[in-house]
Amino acid sequence: MLLLLAASAVAAQGFDHEHKAWTALLHKHVVLVDGGRASQVRYAAFAKDRPALKAYLETLSKVAQTEFDRWSKAQQMAFLINAYNAFTVEKILTRHPDIKSIWDFGRVFGNPFRDRFFTLLGRASYLDQVEHEILRKPGSYDEPRVHYAVNCAAIGCPMLREEAFVAERLDQQLEEQARRFLSDRSRNRYNPQTGRLEVSKIFDWFKEDWLSGYRGFKGTAAPVRSHRQYFSTYASLLADHPDHQRAIREEKVEIDFIAYDWGLNDAKK
């Protein structure tokens, strides 16, 4: 009830760029695992707060394109990332606990990423539109780290953050998400037996983002032209032994892309 009242109060006062209602829900229902490098979601408990979630989603849907266009890039990105994540949770809750993967909605009919099940910026929208047609549109934000922020409710996906993304700390939050994901050895690691770097399929699926030379939404990131160059910056997260870290830093490792786990990121307790 308190979460619902808070969301309603924010709606009455105008749009809240702190996304306090979403943070309150995330604090309550996101569980950090593996030392904070990954997370799970208590969907069963989240369902009990669905009125508060719907109230927050309504505040997102009320934002007009003209208002959105007046915001800073950081405010826009935070809004879009939070919208993607919150509407994904809502999508899962429509069929939880009867699904084991977001793909249980269907890959052609009922495709969860192409289904126009919500309204955003004045039009019927879908998750792929938010991610691929707006956030990833060349020239809009040019921020590869957005892939560490949007969460598709899958175990293989970078974690759902335990707080909302906010403009004032967006760069810091994105970098922390990057470091968390890259230090998660279940999804990214150096294999000492093969001498190869094994990383998530997201670096293969979206290689045009990682290798584009993008400088990020602030325009200050160093341009990257190869996977090896990118991972060299995070060598200490990807390997334990100094020799292995040196090989990554010196870009002397071959790269393999590992299978993606589409199982639902559901916390059972």
DSSP state of 49: T
DSSP state of 111: -
Task: Quote the strand ranges of the chain, DSSP E.
Answer: 30-33, 38-41, 118-120, 123-125, 189-191, 196-199, 254-257
pLDDT in tens, 100-129: 999 999 998 999 999 999 999 999 999 999
**In the predicted model, what is the mean pLDDT of residues 189-193?**
97
pLDDT in tens, 196-237: 999 999 999 999 998 887 878 888 787 888 999 999 999 999
Our measurement of the distance from residue 179's CA atom to the centroid of its chain's CA atoms, rounded to an integer in Å, reads 13
Confidence band of 10 (pLDDT split at 50, 70, 90): very low
Q: Which candidate, 105, 107, 83, places its Cα nearest to that of 96?
A: 105
Tokens standing for residue 110: 């009922």
Q: Rounded CA gap, 138 and 115, in Å?
A: 23
Q: Is-contact 193 215, C-beta < 8 A?
A: no
Neighbours of 219 (CB within 10 A): 9
pLDDT in tens, 127-181: 999 999 999 999 999 999 999 999 999 999 999 999 999 999 999 999 999 999 9
Q: Collapse the DSSP code of 102 into the 3-class scheme (helix H, G, I; strand E, B; otherwise coil) and give the result.
A: helix
Q: Rounded CA gap, 204 and 98, in Å?
A: 31
pTM of structure = 0.93
